[in-house]
Structure 1
Amino acid sequence: MTTQTFTDRTGQSYDPFDLRKHYEPLRVVDVCDALDGIGYFNIGLVSEEIRPLWPGMKFWGVAYTLRCVPANKPMWTLESTEDIVAAHARWFDTVGRGALGFNDQLKPGHVVVTDVGGADNVGLWGSENAMGVLEKGGVGIITNGQCRDTGEVTLQKTPMVCKSRGRTIIPGRIEAVETQVPVGIGGAQVRPGDIVGVDDDGVVVVPYEVAPEVARHAKEILLADMRARGKRYETLGMERDETVDAEAIERYYAGLAA
C-alpha cells in the first residue's frame, strides 16, 4: 500500500504512521489535555461506554474505518450440521462479503474503527477474525457494537475496544458497506488518518489536522507529570517505577529525532 501523507493546519505534510511513534508513550489524558490547550474542547472524546475489553490495554494507531448497517434480509434455515458450521460462508456466498475483505489494505499501525450503524445483538468481531487484523500489523480494533468470544479475546490479549459483549454471529444481522469513510462512534467523528488512542481511561480521537502539534504538547504534559509524581514518590518513600522514569521517555524521543 502506498504511504499517504496528510497536511496539518500549518500546511506541513507528514506521514501519520511515522507520527504515531510520537504518541506511543503518551497517556490518553495527556492527549486530552493537549487538545483542550489548543481549543479542541471535547472534540474526539469517545463515550465512556465504549471501553477496552480487558484492563491494562494501551495502543495508538492510525484510523482505518469500517462502516456497517443492520442487515435487511434474514438468514434462512440451514439444513445440515455442515451448513450450520459454515454459516458465515453460506451467508457470504449468497449476499456477498461487502466491505469485510479489507485486511489486505491494512498497514502496520492501523486501528480498525468500526461503526455498526445501530445493529444490535451481533458479535461482528470475535476471537478469530480479530486476529486477522493483528496478522496484518493492526494494533487494535474499536467498535460501537459488540465483541463475542470475550473470554478468548481476553486470554489472547487481543486489543479489542467495544460497547458490550455479544453472543450471536453475522448472518442475517449486519452487513459491511464501505471502508475508509468518516464514521461516528461514541459521539466522536473518526476519519481515515486520524490518530486514535486507547488506555484504561478510555478512547480519544485526534483529528489529523492537529495531530502533530497535539503530540508535541502532550509529550511535555507527560514529562511534567512524571517529574512531579517522581518527587511524590521520593517524599513517600516509594520505589520508582516506569511511570515516573522521565529520563527513559526523553531518550525515546531523542531516538525518534536522531
Structure 2
Amino acid sequence: MSYEPKDSDGNAVDPYHIRKYFEPLRVVDVADAMDGLGYFNIGLVSQEIRPLWLGMKFWGPAVTQRCVPANKPMWQLETTEDIVGAHGIWFKKYGHNGRGLNDLVKQGSVVVTDVGSSGEVGFFGSENVLALQASGAVGIVTNGHCRDTGEVAMQETPMVCRERGRTIIPGRIEVVELNTPVGIGGAQVRPGDIVGCDDDGLIVVPIEIARQVALHAKAVLIADMNARRKRYDALGRTHDESVDTDAIDRHYAQLEA
C-alpha cells in the first residue's frame, strides 16, 4: 500500500525534512502544542509502551508493519543445526511478508510494529534491531515484546516495547502487511506520521499538522527554557544545554535558511 504524506492543505510534504523541526523538542512540548491545536489526547501512546533504557530520544517518520498471531504450529526439530536455524526453516516453508521492511526504512525512520494481540514472542532481538539501524532507523517501536534486552540496552539501540520477551518467531507471529495504518497504545500511526520518544513516553503527530505543531512546540520549549534559566540564576546554578535558547534558535534558523 502506498501513502503520500500531505499537509492540511493537501500539498505533498517530505516527512524526513519535517522531522528536523522536532529534533530539539521534548515530547511534552509537542503534547502541549497539540493540546493548543485541539488535538487533546490524540497521538498519546499508552505508558505501557516504554523506552527500554533511560536517556533515549528520537523523532522520525513512521514506517509501519502489521502482524497477527500465527495459525500454524512449529514442528519439532531434529538436530542442533536445525534448532539454530529455526527462523530460516520456518520462513522457507511459510514465507516472510516482512522481508521488504528494511527496504522501506530510510535515514531517520521510526519502525512501528503492531503485533496484533500476539502473545509473548521476541519479534525484535539484539541482532535484527541492528539491521534496522544499519538501514537508517532512529527508533523501533512495538506494542509487543523485545528479547535479548541486555544486549539491546548495551548497544543503545532505540527500542521501545510493551514487555521483555524470551521466545522466537516461528509458530507464534506473522507479518501480514507493510506500510499500512496501525494502532499502537491507543494511537493511530500511518506511514509518514512523526513519532517521538523520550523518557516521558511516546507521541504520534499526524503529518498534516506536523510542521505547525513543531513551531508551536518550539515556542513552548523556549518559554520553559527562559523560565528555568531564571531559576538557575536564583539558585546560582551554572547554565547547561537544557537552557541554551541560542542553540535552539540556531537550529531553526538553519532549517529556514
Structure 2 equivalent of residue 13 of structure 1: 12
SS at 1:126's partner residue?
A: coil
1:199 aligns with 2:198: yes
Query: Structure 2: how far apart are the matches of 1:216 and 1:5?
Result: 22
Shift of 1:5: 5.4
CA distance in 1, matches of 2:21, 2:4: 16
| Deviations, residues 106-140 of structure 1 (Å, cap 9, x unaligned) | 11111000000000110000000001111011111
Deviation, structure 1 residue 13: 3.5
Q: How does 1:1-258 map to 2 (within 5 A)?
A: 6-258=5-257
Partners of 2:9 and 2:218 lie apart in 1 by: 20
CA deviation after TM superposition for structure 1 residue 10, in Å:
3.2
Separation in structure 2 between the aligned mates of residue 200 and residue 91 of structure 1, nearest angstrom: 37
What is the aligned-residue identity percentage? 65
Contact 1:153 1:160 in 2 (8 A): yes
- C-alpha distance in 2, partners of 1:52/1:255? 30
- Work out the CA distance in 1 between the residues paired with 2:88 and 2:187: 33
Structure 1 residue identity aligned to 2:235: L
2:67 and 2:173 in contact (8 A); partners too: yes
CA shift, 1:85, in A, is: 0.3
Matched residues, number: 256
Residue aligned with 1:13, SS: coil
User: What secondary structure does 2:110 align onto?
Assistant: strand
How far did 1:8 drift? 1.5
Structure 2 distance, partners of 1:78, 1:205, is 42
* Alpha-carbon distance, 1:99 to partner: 2.1
Give the direction of change, closer, same or farther, for the CA distance of 1:56–1:253 in structure 2 (3 Å limit). Answer: same
Ranges in structure 1 where 5+ consecutive residues have no aligned partner: none
Secondary structure at 2:90's aligned position in 1? helix
Distance 1:151 1:98 in 2: 28
Structure 1 residue 12 displacement after superposition: 4.1
Deviation at 1:105, TM superposition (A): 1.9
Q: TM-score, normalised by structure 2?
A: 0.97
For 2:252 and 2:170, the matched residues in 1 are separated by: 47
**Amino acid in structure 1 at the alignment position of 2:27:** V
Give the deviation of 1:98 after TM superposition: 1.6
Deviates more, 1:11-20 or 1:123-132: 11-20
The one-letter code matched in structure 2 to 1:92 is F
Aligned partner letter, 2:242:
T
Q: CA RMSD in A?
A: 1.2
Query: Which shows bigger deviation, 147-156 or 244-253?
Result: 244-253
Describe the superposition over 1:155-212 as per-residue Cα deviations: whole angstroms up to 9, x where unpaired: 0000000001000000000000111110001001000010000000000000111111
**Cα distance between partner residues in 2 of 1:5 and 1:65:** 14
Amino acid at match of 1:205: V
Shift of the alpha carbon at 1:101? 3.1
